Every structure is written in C-alpha cells, then in structure tokens.
Amino acid sequence: MPQTTPLMTVTGSTLVIAPAPRSRSARTPSPYHRLFALPGTRAFTAGNLLARLPMGMFGVSAVMMIAGQRGSYALAGAVVATGLAATALVAPWTARLVDRHGQARIALPATLIAVLGSLALIVCVRTQAPAWTLFASYAATATTPNIGGMSRARWTHLLRDSPASHHTAMSFEQAADELCFMLGPVLAAFLCTAVFPEAGTLTGAALFLAGMLLFTAQRATEPPVTGAAARRGSPLRALGPLPVLFLCLGLVFGSMEVSSIAYLDAAGLGAASGLVLGLQAAGSCAAGLLYGALRPRGLRTCLTALGVAMALPWAAAATGSVPLLALALLLAGMATAPVMVTAMSRVHARTPEGRLNEGMTLAVTAIFAGISAGSAVAGLTVDHLGPSAAYLLPAAAALLAGAAGTMTRTSFRYRSRTVNSYQHQSERGQPCP
C-alpha cells in the first residue's frame, strides 16, 4: 500500500492540521488560461479573429479578381496601391472617432462602408465598368477600422492593474496578427482559383462584417469613452521616435517578402514561395505565444536579436540552399514578434489617455509605409544586383530599427522623468519597457 500523509497530527497539546496533498491535476493555470477566464474575453476575441482574418485576404483577392477579369496585373496593383494610400490617410481619423465616440458607435458604420466598397468593386469588375470605378470602389474600403487596435484597447482597459497579464495579452494579439496574415492569403488564393474569381473578396467581406458585428456586440468589455481625455495631447507628438522604429520594421517586412519571392522564383520554386513565407509567419506566431508566457524583455535586447536573425537569410541565400533558407526565415520570423510586442507596449505607455486606438493606428500606418518602401527598394535591388544581394536590405533595415530603438529609449527616459508621464503610466497599470 502506498503511504498516505495524515491530515491531523498531535504535537504535545497542539493539534496540527496538515495541508492536503496536492493533486497532480491541480496545476498552476497557464497565463493564457487566466487571460481568457475573464468574463467576455472569449466572445470579443472570437469576433476579433473572425474580422481580422480578411485583412490578409482583401489585397490578394483584389489582385487575382481584377487581373483575372481585366487581364492586367498593372491595373490590379495600382488599384490595391490606391486603396493602401487611402487607408493611410483615413485610418487615423477613423481611430480618432473610435476613441472619442466609442468602438460600437463608429466601427460598425465604418465597417458597413468598407463592405459596400468591396461589393461595389465586385460589381464594377463583373460589369466591365470603367477603370476609375475600380479605384473609387477600393478607396472606399479605407474606412476599415483597425480591429487589432480595438482589441488591444479592450485588453488594456481590462488589464490596467495587471502588467504581467497585459504583456501576455499583447503577445497573443501579435500571434493572432501573424496567424491571420499567414492563413488569409492562402484562403483567398484558394477561393479565387477553385471557386470563382470574386469568391475571395465576397467571403472576406462576409467574414469581416460578421466578425465586427460579434465584436461590437460585446459592450461589457468596451473601453469607456472619456470625452475630455480624448482631446488631450497629440498621439503623434507623444510617440516621439516610435513611428520611425515602426517604419524601419516595415522596411524589414517588405524587403524580406520581395527578396524571398524573387530568390525562390529564380531557383524555379516560385510556386513554393507562399509555403516558405508561411514559415516566417509561423515562426513569429509561435514566438509571440511563447513570449507571452515569459517575462518581457527590453526593447534593446529584442532589437539586437532581430538584427542577428535578419542576417541569417542573407547568409543562407549565399549558400544556394533553399532548405537552409527556409530554416533561416523561420528563425528570422521568431525574432519579429518580441520586437513588435515590446514596441507596442511603448505605444500604450506613451499614448495620451483616451487616444489609444489612434496611437496604435499611427504605428500600423508607419509599418504599412515601410512595407511599401521596402518592397519597392527590394524590387529595384533584385533587378540590378540579384535576389541574393536583396537580402542585405532586411539586415540593414534591422540595424536602422536598432538605432531608432536607441532614440526611442532615450526619449522615453526623458519623458518618464516628468510627473505627468509617471502618473499616466501608473494609473493605467502599464509596464515600463
């Protein structure tokens, strides 16, 4: 018979009650289990993921639909580029309205306008309408709310007194970004080729609307609107050098994608480019989830790891080994999530009270600008120097990000000496990166 621990022992005249043996099943819950044990978090996360998946579908779907029906990739690319430019202009204003008037009140009408723009694009493509109608239709989708920013704002509101749980939530959000942008293009390409050319855009619009309806219906977790605070300060001024950091990160992402596609195409493996790039996103997704369960690191440490990791694809490309390149991209992807999580934490800490959605949207806009510039520069480098040399661009951009991170750290320390900055961080319970 196995020995059992007595529940009661007598020592002299004292009765001692021994603690009951701990069951093997009574283990400490994981940080993510504690996160989603909060009321309402599972519902708004489900809506958030459903609405976020189409963000990786719309661009690919539009290109395949327009090119398939009109026979011009130049026209398709120009339409998508126009939509991205319009989004860069409109998104911060949409985010500002969300901060001032509430998520449900602004995000839902903005979503309806964006969905109508997608449907109008389908109609214009199908009916052979003039080319300018395609530009106008896709530009209307610029009202798409920053669903990732709104979800992060909810976590920040719910976890304002728990910095450790807030770090876990931000890591989960970054992993969700990577997962959706990994699966979205694959789903879009499948729908446009296996069903019909408009299926990707149509499915994306339906998922986006359904997810946003579910997300905005969760009013209990929506951050309260504080009208006076929403007009306090400028997020762009408060962020300081942070937009430069996000611009450099966008350069990393854009140049890496184009360089990889060009390299694999030159190796006769263009059809496998989606799979290889998916490894990079998968690495970032896995690293984001793991990083959320660990103690957060400083931004300088994360950027140093990014600089080292971004040199790996260039070294692998020099060997001519595609499997080695795939492994290098996986490791490079694992270095991006910690940087994004830590940098976003600084956005939370520095954005004025009541302007969080606007601050995060400005960061995302800077990333998109960097992606566009990185893609263009990488394309020119591939044409003139070859795809292997183009892999130097992500490494150089990572070094620039490290320099921008140093500027950000200095600025953050200076601002943190002021009483207002200290009170702002302590009231919101944000970790000081």
Residues of the chain below pLDDT 70: 1-29, 226-234, 270-274, 408-433
The pLDDT assigned to 231 comes to: 54
The pLDDT assigned to 369 comes to: 82
- Name the CATH superfamily housing domain 232-433: MFS general substrate transporter like domains (1.20.1250.20)
The pLDDT assigned to 24 comes to: 46
Any bridge partners for residue 15, and if so which?
Answer: 10
Judge whether 230 and 372 are in contact, CB under 8 Å: no
List of residues 6+ apart from 395 with CB closer than 8 A: 307, 310, 311, 314
The pLDDT assigned to 15 comes to: 46
Q: What does the pLDDT look like over 8-63, one tens digit per residue?
A: 444 444 444 445 455 444 466 688 888 888 888 899 999 999 999 888 788 878 88
Domain boundaries, the chain: 42-225, 232-433
Q: How far is CA 153 from CA 147, 159, 213, 339, 420, in A?
A: 10, 10, 17, 19, 21
| Topology adopted by domain 42-225 | Growth Hormone; Chain: A; (1.20.1250)
The pLDDT assigned to 420 comes to: 43
The pLDDT assigned to 287 comes to: 85
Q: Phi and psi of 386, rounded to 5°? A: 100, 160
Q: What does the pLDDT look like over 167-178, one tens digit per residue?
A: 888 888 888 887
| Coil, strand or helix at 116 | helix
Q: Which residue in 253, 275, 430 sits closest to 351, CA to CA? A: 430
Q: What does the pLDDT look like over 199-230, one tens digit per residue?
A: 889 999 999 999 999 999 988 888 887 664 44
DSSP single-letter state for residue 4: -
d(CA 345, CA 174): 11
Name the burial class of residue 211, with classes exposed (0-12), middle (13-18) and buried (19+) by CB atoms within 10 angstroms of its CB: buried
The pLDDT assigned to 207 comes to: 94
Judge whether 239 and 362 are in contact, CB under 8 Å: yes
Name the residue type at position 201: T
